[in-house]
Amino acid sequence: MRILYYTWDEIIKNDVVMAFDKTGHDVTLLTYNIKSYVKDVGFLENVEKELKRAKDVDKPYDFIFSCNFLPVLSKVALRNRIPYVSWTYDSPCMTMYSEMIFNPYNYMFHFDCSEVERIRNLGVEHIYHLPLAVNTDRIGKLINDAKADVDSRLVNSGVEFMGNLYNNEVDFLQSLPGLPDYEKGYIEGIELAQLTMQGCELLEEMFDERLMERLGKYAHFSREEEFFIKDRDLILNIIKKNISSRERISIVREVGKRLPMTLYTQSSKSNIPGVSVYGYIDYEHDMPLMFANSAINLNITLRNIRTGIPLRALDIMGAGGFLLTNYCPELSEFMVDGEDFVAYSDVNDCCEKASYYLRHEDERRRIAQNGREKTAKYFNYDVQIGKMTDVLRKELAL
């Protein structure tokens, strides 16, 4: 198949292209400094120019592809009657609330099964569940080539967490002008209650219409005309982000009190007592080496992800790292807690399990090896891209 791949320089670009190439597909990368994922006349004309060029030399593209769903690309596809394939790996991905999801030329893949179900229930036909992937072959070679020659900042004999703490921003709801203290306290109570509940959507049950009606007097959102997301969903996403920030800071702080703890983050407010802090590390090179050379790697999933396997969890296991994670429903469909990874239920459980596995190196290494083997088996890019192209061959008769 001939594929026109628009890239916005996403972190998984090179691995996706490599997988397409490896499975015999002809990929042309298109780069453009896009101004809007919804409306951009210059971008639209640029893509159409490339589509016309390919037709003129009798090598038309079979479909347009991008990571994450981009409404402006869907519009190009509709105008030119060409399939548009997307693989979404962000959550929340606000563009999935665009009216363009109803375009019949879309073929959308998403890593989170619950989001697939939401979109399918809206009447969208071409939406498919496809978990994310890891290039275990590339990562394995990288780790083997590096051997003992690894930067000391990437070596941890204790626990590490790599991720955003989301604490640099002003709390939108708490700072709303005129919002009464009662509503602020109620939201605070909801956040604290949800923090104690892993694998349970307590938040959405407590966030009733009466609360939304009260908040609606103070919270006002601007959005693109073609977006149909409700204020309630926007507020829930904000609250979930706040909960994720609280949870990450709490776990890092508590682990740091008891065990050697290293934090890799771009968050500027990251001075936590007892925690060694480093800034950004490169995704393709440094990150796999760090996961492979850390005793315990934490995954603390964003609360906006309801069921899907976060890319970070797969990145850790794909590098042969030991994964200690919160409960991830879809991960348990492929792997076994205690054999391929270890799940914690709350902050104390996380600290206790981290302490246990730091003291039991053989057990820890065995679990990490099992996790790597299963990741290579089920979540290699060759496997996932193969599933995608199988669907497309069937749907598009290619």
Q: Could you write out the DSSP letters of every residue in 111-124?
A: S-HHHHHHHHHTT-
What is the reported pLDDT for 187? 85
- Ramachandran region, residue 162 (left: φ > 0; alpha: ψ -120 to 50; beta: rest): beta
- Ramachandran region, residue 24 (left: φ > 0; alpha: ψ -120 to 50; beta: rest): left
Strand order in the sheet with 294-299: 275-278, 261-264, 156-162, 294-299, 323-325, 342-343
What is the reported pLDDT for 390? 96
DSSP letter at 101?
G
- Check pLDDT > 70 for residue 199: no
Handedness of CA 43, 77, 395, 102 (dihedral sign): positive
- Domain residue ranges in the chain: 2-133+381-396, 136-378
Q: Give per-residue pLDDT as tens, 8-59.
A: 999 999 999 999 999 899 999 999 999 999 999 999 999 999 999 999 999 9
What is the residue type of 373? E
CA distance 231 to 238: 11
Out of 3.40.50.2000, 3.40.50.80, 1.10.530.10, 3.40.50.720, select the CATH number for domain 2-133+381-396. Answer: 3.40.50.2000
Residue 2: which H helix or E strand, with range? Answer: strand 2-7
In this predicted structure, which of 14-23, 38-47, 209-218, 273-282 has the lowest mean pLDDT?
209-218
Q: What share of the chain is helix, strand, coil (3-state, %, to 5)?
A: 45, 15, 35
CA distance 344 to 337: 10
Domains 2-133+381-396 and 136-378 share a fold: yes
CB 368 within 8 A of CB 360: no
What whole-number percentage of the chain has pLDDT above 90?
A: 76
CB 90 within 8 A of CB 68: yes
What is the reported pLDDT for 269? 77
CA distance 44 to 382: 31
What is the reported pLDDT for 194? 82
CA distance 180 to 162: 36
What is the reported pLDDT for 183? 85
- Check pLDDT > 70 for residue 374: yes
What is the reported pLDDT for 358? 98
DSSP strands (E only) in 97-223: 106-110, 127-129, 156-162
- Tell me the HSE value of 343 on the side-chain side, using a 13 A CA sphere: 15
* Structural fold of domain 136-378: Rossmann fold (3.40.50)
- Check pLDDT > 70 for residue 198: no
- Check pLDDT > 90 for residue 105: yes
Q: Could you count the other beta carbons within 10 Å of the beta carbon of residue 377?
A: 11
CA angle, residues 202, 204, 208, in degrees to nearest 5: 115
What is the reported pLDDT for 270? 79
- Check pLDDT > 90 for residue 211: no
> What is the separation of C-alpha 260 from the centre of its chain, rounded to a whole number of angstroms?
27
Strand-strand pairing, 156-162 and 342-343: unpaired
- Check pLDDT > 90 for residue 395: yes
- Check pLDDT > 80 for residue 169: no
- Please provide the average confidence, as pLDDT, over all residues in the chain: 93
